[in-house]
Chain A
């Protein structure tokens, strides 16, 4: 994926989170994650990504 494409996705996700608001942003992101998993159709990759993303969270929680 090009940098520009990644950036467009970054922006779209940011405005979707703002659209969903604090109460529903977690639900929104979980839906997006499930939908992407459905598209990828590869359980092993998705599970390894989940582990990978957990790993970055050892720092204190964000705000």
Chain B
């Protein structure tokens, strides 16, 4: 929502483009993949497919990007995905990197935490960037791609599943038409129409935790450090989060009490009053302009299965997560990247169709992991019982003298999820005593002439240690010395190897590898029969 004197897309700092409805032919050929929803998740999926040479049609009922800043925290693992897709440059240029968070209790700082970071990492743990920019930068790449056809103002109104294809009914300003496709990726958001058309519902335990998320534009002198205010004078009993964004935009999130309705809380005069009192508490006395606001309800819900026949759900259509974990967007980007390479592999006969069944255990597992962490954060941010509330206040109060106890207020920002027990990863080689396990995301390292992330192939990469000049069809071999820092981080010896999947997760590792064992492993993980 925006102030009364401005339209829905009348931003103080962002120029919204207008996208025309598509020119289209009377008869539609069968598409390999249709993606419903051109938000960040849909665009990442389209770009991943395109990178592997697969055409897709991207449908969105809107005529521009989403209306506000919404998801603003992009994690290191998402930056690695954007980098691997070759689109990270504008993100790096515009976003604000951060590593530090500070928690305050009744106006006094009780905790400062830093997320793990190291100079051998190419990217910082977290970056702040408004969602419209995220969409705009992805769109630059989508628009350039000859393999992605985007249809704006095109709403999916019907879906018929057949054994060998799905028929979508699409409505645009010209009329309704049928769009046949082999596979569908539904990245159409929390209220996913495709999910309803498939007769599916999100499920999970319901606990309320509602926040107004509001952006203001102001000149405010504070570094890019996330601030969490517990029980502040401006919102007694509640929690307030403050994030810096580019273009002098500041995000103020404040928790609503049970007796505050969404309708009242989102009235402009009420938002202005709450923001003003938070700003006065943090010592901002200068001018500020209200840019945009919305309500975020933090109920963790997810689908039982992210796959429904030929339809795959990705992002908010598959799972909605509480606000504190900063994992809605990041989880969605990983979904799009995960299903993207798997569908490409199957469509190009590089893998058997059974590979697609690894999507749900891997990505649903990641969501459950988010829930577990978020539940812990929520318990602290929004205590649900008297006991939790007393303990929370006791911990905060005690944190003034005992920093160790203040650690309980650490919001546990995301670390990438390890795909344990996935059918698309191998069992671990137990002789390793360091390094990323199969299922974990690869660990970036500085190879002195550039980062490992820059040497990874489009498809599988084999990271070998020592003198192993192997050539394997379709696999990018990166050879590094068997001694030194890299070998140490990877727990590797002469002859060791790591097989890295196209989505940057470790497929398998061997303390002592042979070309045959690598080949056998790939064949098995990709369900190839040849």
- Decide whether A and B are members of one complex: yes
Q: Is A7 located at the chain interface by the 8 A CB criterion?
A: yes
Our pick among B387, B389, B398, B407 for the contact of A56 (Cβ within 8 Å) is: B398
Judge whether A41 is part of the interface by a CB distance below 8 angstroms: no
Contact in complex: A17, B386 (CB < 8 Å): yes
**Across-interface contacts of B385 in A (CB, < 8 A):** 14, 18
Q: Which residues of A contact B237 (CB under 8 A)?
A: 63
User: Is there a chain A Cβ closer than 8 Å to B251's Cβ?
Assistant: no
- Chain A residue total in the interface (Cβ 8 A): 22
B494 CB within 8 Å of chain A: no
Asked if residues B387 and A17 are in contact (CB atoms below 8 Å), the reply is yes
- Whole-angstrom distance from the CB of A3 to the nearest CB of chain B? 6
B408 within 8 A of A: yes
Q: What is the CA–CA distance of A10 and B410 in the complex, to the nearest angstrom?
A: 14
A55 touching B401, Cβ below 8 Å = yes
Q: Name the A residues within 8 Å of B397 (CB-CB).
A: 53, 56-57, 59
- Within 8 Å of chain A (Cβ to Cβ): is B395? yes
* Contact residues, B378-397 vs A (CB, 8 A): 385-391, 393, 395, 397
Which chain B residues (415-437) contact chain A, with CB distance < 8 Å?
none
State which residues 46-63 of A face B: CB under 8 Å: 52-53, 55-57, 59, 62-63
Q: Are B387 and A16 in contact (CB under 8 A)?
A: yes
A1 to B376, CA, bound (A): 19
- Cβ-defined contact, A18 with B387, below 8 A: yes
Q: B124 on the interface (CB 8 Å rule)? A: no
- On whether A6 and B390 interact (CB within 8 A), knowing A18-B385, A56-B397, A56-B398, the answer reads no
B232 CB to closest chain A CB (Å) equals 11
Please name all residues of chain B whose beta carbon is closer than 8 Å to the beta carbon of A59 when the two chains form the complex: 106, 397
Q: Is the interface of B mostly helix, strand, loop or mixed?
A: helix
Please give, as numbers and ranges, the residues of chain A lying within 8 Å of B405 by CB-CB distance.
6
Q: Is the CB of A10 within 8 A of B395?
A: yes
Distance, CA A56 to CA B394, complexed state (A): 9
Cα distance, A59 to B398, chains bound together (Å): 13
User: Secondary structure at chain A's binding surface: helix, strand, loop or mixed?
Assistant: helix
Chain B residue, CB-CB nearest to A17: B387
Cβ contact within 8 Å between A18 and B386: yes
Docked pose: A8 CA to B391 CA in angstroms: 12
With most chain A CB atoms within 10 A of its CB, the pick from B237, B385, B386 is B386
Known: A14-B385, A14-B387, A17-B390. A6 touches B398 (CB 8 A): no
Complex alpha-carbon distance, A5 and B343, angstroms: 43
For the complex formed, measure the closest distance between the CB of A61 and the CB atoms of chain B, giving whole angstroms: 10
B401 touches which one: A3, A13, A16, A52 (CB < 8 A)?
A: A52
* Residue A15, interface by CB 8 Å: yes
Q: Does B400 contact A (CB under 8 A)?
A: yes
CB-based nearest A residue for B391: A14
Tell me, rounded to whole Å, the shortest Cβ–Cβ distance linking B32 to chain A: 46
* Neighbour of B390 across the interface among A1, A7, A14, A19, CB < 8 A: A14
Interface members, chain A 1-42 (any B CB < 8 Å): 1, 3, 6-7, 10, 13-19, 22, 25
Chain A contacts of B398 at CB under 8 A? Answer: 53, 56
**Residues of B210-252 contacting chain A, CB below 8 A:** 237
- Find chain B residues with CB under 8 A from A1 CB: 404
Query: Which residue of A has the minimal Cβ distance to B405?
Result: A6
Asked if A15 contacts B387 (CB within 8 A), the reply is: yes
Closest to B410 in A: A3
A15-B408 Cα distance, complex, nearest whole Å = 17
Contacts of B391 in A (CB 8 A): 10, 13-14, 17
If A13-B387, A18-B387 touch, whether A62 touches B404 (CB-CB below 8 Å) is no
CB distance from A32 to the nearest CB of B (A): 12
A28 to B95 alpha-carbon distance, docked (Å): 50
Contacts of A53 in B (CB 8 A): 397-398
B401-414 vs A, Cβ < 8 Å mask (1 yes, 0 no): 10011011010000
What residues on A are CB-neighbors of B388 within 8 Å? 14, 18
Evaluate contact between A56 and B401: CB separation under 8 angstroms: yes
Q: Provide the residues of chain A in CB contact with B390, threshold 8 Å.
A: 14, 17, 25, 62
Query: Known contacts being A55-B401, A56-B398, A57-B397, is A7 close to B376, with CB within 8 Å?
Result: yes
Q: How far is the CB of B98 from chain A (nearest CB, A)?
A: 22
Instruction: Determine the distance from Cα of A40 to Cα of B388 in the docked complex, in whole angstroms.
Output: 26
**Closest approach, in angstroms, between the C-beta of A43 and any C-beta of chain B?**
20
Chain A residues within an 8 Å CB radius of B408: 3, 6-7, 10
Residue ID in chain A nearest B108 by CB atoms = A59
CA distance A13 to B379 in the complex (A): 13
B386 vs chain A, min Cβ distance (A): 6
Measured between beta carbons, the chain A residues less than 8 angstroms from B386 are 17-18, 22, 25
One digit per residue, 1 when the CB lies within 8 angstroms of any chain A CB and 0 when it does not, for chain B 464-508 equals 000000000000000000000000000000000000000000000
Interchain Cβ contacts under 8 Å between A and B, 14 examples = A1-B404, A6-B407, A7-B408, A10-B391, A10-B408, A14-B385, A14-B387, A14-B388, A14-B391, A17-B386, A18-B388, A52-B401, A56-B400, A57-B397
Residues of B in contact with A (beta carbons under 8 Å apart): 106, 237, 376, 385-391, 393, 395, 397-398, 400-401, 404-405, 407-408, 410
